[in-house]
Amino acid sequence: MFVDNFFGTSGIRGVIGKEIDEKFSYKIGLALGKYIKRGKALIAYDPRPGAKEISEALIKGLKKTKVEVTNLEILPTPELTWYQVKGDYHLGVSVTGSHLPWNMIGIIPTLKDGDGIYGQIGEKITQIYGSL
Amino acid sequence: MATGFTVRSAKKLLKFMDHSEYIQAILQTIDAAKINQQRYRILFDPVNGSAVDVGKKLFEKLGKVVLINGQMGRKPPHLAVN
């Protein structure tokens, strides 16, 4: 299915193993890495089943594009973003289900200064994903 | 807020700091002493999520914490129907 923009108001959300599986997450990692063009990234995830595996796939994709990744493992999204901005990272990604049903997860990236990805930037990253 | 923050290994830093730098940054935005004077009991429900540890440590700075749904990773009760 062709999608213009994977990114909603706060990242990408979907059912674990259906819309968001490890293959998808790996490719999102590749697309994010190609968008930021190297640089350094902080990653964290929540304790929900599947979050760790999806994070690891995302990290694999980012590393493939030569992004320097630090995996903080389980950490709340605001704390991750705080460290990201304070540490001057180009990218932060929180893999979290947040308030969603238990079988769902989100990939929530923030760019430098902690800004979310949506609109034209989301479309651009979705295009990169489509070209992979 | 602390200055001169550099991250060579954020994971090592976090383990070492035990969330304390983040908590300190939050506390500096409020009047913690004034809140403490009220001797609040604080009901904290992190719904078994990633904020269990950091939230408990933060709120313990502000009063007596009553924690519910504090088992990180366990399916929260409000999602048990899914």
B24 domain residue, yes or no: yes
- B 18-77 residues inside an 8 A Cβ radius of A: 19, 22, 25, 48-51, 54-55, 72-73, 75
Whole-number percent of chain A with pLDDT over 90:
87
Q: Does A68 touch chain B (CB under 8 A)?
A: no
Please state the domain count of chain B: 1
pLDDT of residue B3: 39
User: What pLDDT digit, counting tens, does each position of A32-66 carry?
Assistant: 999 999 899 999 999 999 999 999 999 999 999 99
B39: left (phi over 0), alpha (psi -120 to 50) or beta: left
Q: What is the pLDDT of residue B77?
A: 80
Kindly report the CATH number assigned to the domain that includes residue A93. 3.40.120.10
* Partners of residue B25 in chain A, C-beta under 8 Å: 82
Range with lowest mean pLDDT among A6-10, A20-24, A49-53: A6-10
Burial environment of residue B47 by CB neighbours within 10 A (0 to 12, 13 to 18, 19 or more): middle
Q: How far is A88 from chain B (nearest CA, A)?
A: 9
Mutation test of the interface with chain B: which of A71, A84, A86, A103, choosing the one with the most B Cβ atoms within 10 A? A86
The domain tally of chain A equals: 1
CATH number of the domain bearing residue B27 = 3.40.120.10
- Exposed / middle / buried, residue A63 (Cβ in 10 Å: 0-12, 13-18, 19+): middle
Classify residue A8: in a domain, yes or no.
no
Contacts of B25 (CB under 8 A, 6+ apart): A82, B1, B2
Cα-to-chain-centroid distance, residue B77: 21
Q: Which of A25, A94, A98, A131 is catalytic?
A: A98
Q: Are A72 and A42 in contact (CB under 8 A)?
A: yes
Using the predicted structure, report yes or no on whether residue A128 has a pLDDT greater than 60.
yes
Domain that holds residue B20: 10-72
DSSP state of B76: P
Residue A84: CB atoms within 10 Å:
29
What is the tens place of the pLDDT at every residue in B16-42? 568 999 999 999 999 999 999 999 999
Question: Within a domain: residue B22?
Answer: yes
